[in-house]
Chain A
Amino acid sequence: MKPAIRLSPEDNILVLAQSMQAGEVVDIDGTAHRLSAALGLGHKVAARMIAPGEKILKYGVPIGSATAAIEPGEHVHLHNMKSDYLPTFTLDAGREFHSAT
């Protein structure tokens, strides 16, 4: 099992301490969770069930809100959370925008 870092006791996400391949097992508070896709160092996985609209807590503070139900161990990223302040720009979104226009 590979470790993930809990930055603050109240956090509902953990941070990967190393890059992992699909099929590798990450330690979610003592429970083994097998990754379905490769994830880079520094990415987040859910520490517990997170409901849609619930705040994502990292460093003990909200860093955005869930836009979908997130299972324990699941990757927490732009596909299932969003900012409470400003939209996030990605190259993929830019590519989609320009291919649609």
Chain B
Amino acid sequence: MSASRTITQGAFLRADGSKGIRNLVAVVYLVECAHHVSREIQMPYRENGVHLIGFSGCYPNDYSFRMLQGLCTHPNVGAVLLVSLGCEGFNRHGLLDAVRASGRACELLVIQQTGGTRETIRRGRDWVGRTISQLDSTPRVAMAIDEIVVGTVCGGSDGTSGITANPAIGRAFERLVGEGARCIFEETGELIGCEQIMGARAITPELGTILHASIAKAARYYATLGHGSFAPGNADGGLTTQEEKSMGAYSKSGSSPISGLLKPGDVPRAGGLYLLDVVPDGEVRFGFPNINDNAEIAELIACGSHVILFSTGRGSVVGSAISPVIKVCANPETFRNLPDDMDVNAGRILEGDSNLDGVGEEIHRLIHEVADGRQTASESLGHQEFVLGYKSFDPIGPACHPTLNPSASPARPAATAVHLACLSGRPGRRR
């Protein structure tokens, strides 16, 4: 394994030792009532690396706290401004302490204690302006490929996604995993039907059981809701069923062994391929697991993803706050229709101009260039979408991340107790 290979010479070194490929200030609203003020603070700086994220709900939720904590201490983020109305339930002091403990500059403005909208915007803009200048002196260091986290997602899938873009991303993932990178694929609800073949790729039998159970959980969850992760445009594009969409989505994972199962906010601590379980634990509450693609992207970033590989057939135009999104277009007709929004034309494979290995190589090269500062299509167009809702999860158990836990040896038989500890009904705090 050539784990010492460098992905960029110019990574941004944070006080907590993590390395980012962007040097951002996050302005964070802690309830919808603080959204306008936060947006006004960010607006003049939105082309200067200041991104807007936040949580709309007034009622506290452990998952959303953990998500914002993960995002505010993400390696791509150098400083954070928290904006609270004052009476919402979000634990603003807990988040302020956590961000400061990571060594990042962090300020909290409470609108009700700052004299209202106008004064909070003025003070917020002052703080952001000063902080941008300070971030200019962030140390730049080399970053090895085994320090990068790469997430993948698909959106606006069609009949070409599972033939071109998704398996090409799979080729890039195979190579990255071989080089020691940490790669994450997701949306257990979009892997319904793939549970057998996927479980067999787990590095321990316990993990295989856990992967299988995570898909069964997603199938139950979506059955209760009445339909799956399948949009009308998927059918217009030639897809028919959840399991057909799943097989296409699954091919993004490549063929590497699966090293672990994560839940939103869990950062993989060793190289390998990880499945992100996005479907909440326990009975169905709070509605759809992910109301759109950006909810999934935000979760991949909260798991540490420095960069996102986004496969699209119908033609999604979104990017994301915090981490750059590389758009891999599966459908050559869509690429011609939306050329400014796409980074890679995987549809060439259908027209005989390239093959899966060629496009996989192009994606691998582009990750290096983006890590080195090249803007992606969605970044250059100003896309900074962000969505965060309510969920609840049980914490992952040791068998979910076996490389960190030598006791979960392959020799041990798969145990129901392990599956219970990881996926359901584990006593203790829900988040």
Contacts and interface: CB of A to CB of B under 8 A. Distances in A.
A64 B243 contact: yes
Contacts of B230: 86, 88-89
Interface stretch (B16-24, B232-240, B252-260): B232-240
**Best-buried of A41, A76, A81 by chain B (most CB within 10 Å):** A41
A92 B214 CA distance: 32
A21 interface: no
A100 interface: no
Interface string A25-53: 00000000000000011111000000000
A51 B53 CA distance: 52
Interface in B172-205: 192-193, 197
A62 interface: yes
Interface stretch (B65-73, B221-229, B300-308, B405-413): B221-229
Contact of A58 (B223, B236, B247): B247
Given A41-B331, A63-B247, A91-B232, A86 B162 contact: no
Contact of B333 (A19, A59, A88, A94): A19
A32 B113 CA distance: 76
B354 interface: no
Contacts of B247: 58-59, 61, 63
Nearest to B352: A17
Is the interface on chain B under 10, 10 to 19, 20 to 34, or 35 or more residues?
Answer: 35 or more
Nearest to A42: B159
B280 to A, nearest CB: 18
B61 interface: no
A94 B230 CA distance: 14
Nearest to A92: B232
B238 A86 contact: no
Contacts of B226: 87
B219 interface: yes
A86 B332 CA distance: 30
B241 interface: yes
B199 to A, nearest CB: 14
Contacts of A85: 192-193, 219, 223, 228, 241-243
Contact of A89 (B158, B160, B227, B251): B227
A15 B193 contact: no
A30 to B, nearest CB: 20
Contacts of A16: 159, 238
Interface string A56-70: 101101111000000
Contacts of B158: 41-42
A7 interface: yes
B361 interface: no
A96 B226 CA distance: 17
B15 interface: no
Nearest to B236: A40
B163 A15 contact: yes
A78 interface: yes
Contacts of A64: 240-241, 243-244
Contacts of A90: 232, 235
Contacts of A94: 232
Contacts of B350: 17-18, 41
Given A61-B193, A85-B192, A86-B223, A41 B241 contact: no
Nearest to B331: A41
B264 interface: no
B243 A78 contact: no
Given A44-B159, A85-B193, A88-B228, 19 more contacts: A16-B159, A16-B238, A18-B350, A40-B237, A41-B158, A41-B333, A42-B159, A61-B197, A61-B243, A61-B247, A62-B243, A63-B244, A78-B240, A81-B241, A84-B193, A85-B192, A85-B219, A85-B223, A89-B230
Interface of B: 158-163, 192-193, 197, 219, 222-223, 226-228, 230-232, 235-244, 247, 251, 313, 331-333, 350
Closest 8 CB pairs of A and B: A42-B159, A42-B238, A83-B241, A63-B244, A43-B238, A64-B241, A86-B228, A91-B232
24 contacts: A7-B163, A15-B159, A15-B163, A40-B238, A41-B160, A41-B331, A59-B162, A59-B251, A61-B197, A62-B193, A62-B243, A63-B243, A83-B228, A84-B243, A85-B193, A85-B219, A85-B223, A85-B243, A86-B228, A86-B241, A87-B226, A88-B227, A89-B230, A89-B231
Interface of A: 5, 7, 15-19, 40-44, 56, 58-59, 61-64, 76-78, 81-91, 94
